[in-house]
Amino acid sequence: MADRSVATTDTLETMRATYNSTATDVGDISTLNNAFTGTPTDVVESCNKNLTSIGNISDLNNTFTGTPTDLVEAVNSKANEGFSVAMAVALG
């Protein structure tokens, strides 16, 4: 993604093109919170990829056994050690 700016002397066409390019860099917000794997090409895809690594926050403080595949499962696997309460506070 590029840093973009529009000079006060630029035309409306330049401002329109710059705005549209910035919107493309942000991505389609209607797909926010959708599962995403692969290489992100915009901000929404990057957020979705990170959310996959974090896991389902609503599952926090549930019991988990097995091998964790995301942050929420890792926190829940340590629930008996008081660790999950600290992580829940840290995650907001």
Residues 71 and 54: beta-carbon distance below 8 Å: yes
pLDDT at 84 over 60: no
pLDDT at 81 over 70: no
What is the C-alpha to C-alpha distance for residues 37 and 69, in angstroms, rounded to an integer? Answer: 14
Q: Which burial class, exposed, middle or buried, applies to 79 when counting CB atoms under 10 A from its CB (0-12, 13-18, 19+)?
A: middle
Confidence of residue 63 (pLDDT cuts 50, 70, 90): confident
Domain residue ranges of the chain, discontinuous segments joined by + = 12-54, 57-91
Confidence of residue 11 (pLDDT cuts 50, 70, 90): very high
